[in-house]
């Protein structure tokens, strides 16, 4: 039986939720942003009226205000976004349990088994749009197709508050003329490489020889070819299915640029503390540690290393991250953002400790003591709160040398 997949995408989600909290925002152009007085002043989301002025996500506030002087700016209310995201998925679950969230404001639905109750995929999409407006106060655009990739393309095709159907009968006429970068997972770099190869549309991509694409993009080329040809067979998982955790990471944009090793150590300590705690809470260890660095000019650098021993130790994560930073970054250069990611995860009870010829009883004892220390710190925080125990590296000193708590940006 042919599948019927929906992709539901909330229109201007953050801005729409803010308008529900403050209806006066609907009177003119508005945008959600960080603190306008600090460096965090970038546009996170904008409403439809702001879009007409050319306001774009991720541009700075001063750029947006230059385009639209009357732009109203509001700070984000993340807890409200989570609440409304949950309400959206609760609505979708009234039609099928095969609801697979694709971010906070998007979800895939497989309604193949529900159509005998609720009608065709297009009818279900129209009903969801109506109920979303009337019951929750948001609007969604819905793509309807026989696979996930084309359903996602359909929700992007026409906005706001629209239903688009890409069927097996019409996709060659409607999908193939679209630009290649409209296809799921064709990012900026992939689009640039495709363009350099003379592949400008999804139809151009579909006409490529598999061997040629594989030689350029590897497995990603195989996937993109399947998507372009309408051969995507990835299932929509049940909303209640356990999600496999592939990595655990944390990043932080700092209120002031970090310059020098002491400042970077402070930032890495807070990040590794968070990552290590989350790994231990999930009963996982990592085999790879990755750091991300962004400078004030928004240039990004990423480096990673594979560990000899899988770990969830905060200390090991910190020492590894610091070694990566020292090896690949000049400490006198300013750092705007740091991130630490633990990848290649294994269940803790399945990770085997490899013995080294140079690893004696003292090293094994040290690792055991570190595990016990981490567990003690986790237990204290669980009982008395996360701020009950703090690492010395996460505390900075004022000009007189007295400890001063680092403020969270």
Cα-based torsion angle of the residue sequence 315, 286, 292, 408 in order, rounded to the nearest 10 degrees: -50
Which has the closest alpha carbon to 374: 248, 273, 285? 273
Separation between Cα atoms, residue 56 and residue 44, nearest integer Å: 9
E strand or H helix at 141: strand 140-145
Whether the Cβ atoms of residue 17 and residue 80 lie closer than 8 Å to each other: yes
Whether the Cβ atoms of residue 186 and residue 43 lie closer than 8 Å to each other: no
Neighbouring C-beta atoms of residue 273, cutoff 10 Å: 25
Q: What is the pLDDT of residue 399?
A: 42
Residues of the chain where predicted confidence (pLDDT) is lower than 50: 39, 352-360, 388-389, 394-409
Structure tokens at 145: 């197709």
Cis peptide before 160 (omega within 30 of 0): yes
Q: What is the pLDDT of residue 116?
A: 95
Separation between Cα atoms, residue 102 and residue 105, nearest integer Å: 7
Neighbouring C-beta atoms of residue 31, cutoff 10 Å: 30
Q: What is the pLDDT of residue 215?
A: 93
For tokens 């990611």, name the residue. Answer: 341
For 83, residues 6+ apart whose C-beta sits below 8 A from its C-beta are: none
For tokens 């300590």, name the residue. Answer: 269
Distance, C-alpha 345 to centroid of its chain: 18
Neighbouring C-beta atoms of residue 46, cutoff 10 Å: 26
166 — phi, psi (to 5°)?
Answer: -110, 105
Whether the Cβ atoms of residue 43 and residue 33 lie closer than 8 Å to each other: yes
Handedness of CA 310, 313, 316, 319 (dihedral sign): positive
Structure tokens at 338: 């740091």
Q: What is the pLDDT of residue 351?
A: 55
Q: What is the pLDDT of residue 356?
A: 41
Active-site residue among 106, 135, 308, 402? Answer: 106
* Annotation says 353 is catalytic: no
pLDDT in tens, 252-302: 888 788 999 999 998 999 899 989 988 988 888 998 999 999 988 888 899
Separation between Cα atoms, residue 12 and residue 45, nearest integer Å: 7
Q: What is the pLDDT of residue 93?
A: 96
């Amino acid at each position: 039986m042919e599948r019927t997949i929906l992709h539901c995408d909330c229109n201007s989600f953050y801005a729409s939720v803010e308008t529900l909290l403050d209806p006066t925002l609907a009177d003119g152009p508005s945008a959600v942003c960080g603190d306008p007085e600090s460096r965090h002043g970038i546009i996170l989301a904008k409403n439809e009226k702001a879009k007409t002025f050319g306001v774009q996500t991720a541009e700075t506030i001063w750029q947006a205000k230059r385009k639209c002087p009357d732009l109203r700016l509001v700070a984000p209310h993340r807890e409200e976004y989570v609440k409304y995201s949950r309400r959206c998925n609760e609505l979708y679950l009234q039609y099928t349990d095969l609801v697979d969230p694709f971010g906070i404001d998007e979800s895939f639905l497989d309604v193949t088994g529900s159509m005998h109750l609720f009608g065709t995929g297009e009818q279900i999409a129209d009903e969801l749009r109506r109920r979303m407006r009337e019951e929750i106060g948001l609007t969604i655009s819905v793509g309807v197709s026989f696979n996930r990739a084309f359903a996602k393309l359909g929700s992007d095709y026409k906005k706001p508050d629209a239903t688009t159907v890409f069927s097996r009968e019409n996709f060659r006429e409607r999908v193939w003329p679209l630009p290649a970068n409209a296809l799921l997972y064709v990012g900026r770099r992939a689009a640039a490489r495709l363009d350099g190869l003379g592949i400008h549309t999804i139809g151009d991509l579909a006409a490529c020889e598999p061997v040629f694409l594989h030689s350029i993009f590897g497995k990603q080329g195989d996937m993109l070819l399947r998507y372009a040809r309408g051969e995507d067979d990835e299932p929509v998982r049940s909303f209640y299915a356990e999600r496999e955790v592939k990595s655990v990471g944390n990043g932080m944009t700092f209120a002031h640029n970090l310059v020098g090793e002491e400042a970077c150590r402070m930032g890495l300590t807070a990040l590794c503390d968070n990552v290590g705690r989350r790994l231990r809470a999930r009963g996982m260890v990592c085999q790879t540690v990755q750091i991300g660095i962004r400078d004030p000019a928004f240039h990004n650098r990423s480096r990673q290393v594979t560990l000899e021993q899988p770990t969830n130790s905060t200390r090991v994560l910190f020492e590894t991250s610091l070694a990566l930073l020292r090896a690949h970054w000049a400490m006198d250069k300013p750092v705007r953002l740091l991130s630490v990611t633990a990848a290649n995860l294994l269940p803790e009870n399945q990770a085997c400790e490899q013995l080294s010829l140079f690893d004696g009883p003292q090293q094994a004892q040290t690792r055991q003591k570190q595990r016990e220390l981490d567990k003690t710190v986790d237990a204290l925080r669980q009982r008395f709160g996360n701020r009950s125990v703090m690492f010395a590296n996460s505390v900075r000193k004022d000009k007189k040398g007295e400890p001063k708590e680092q403020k969270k940006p």
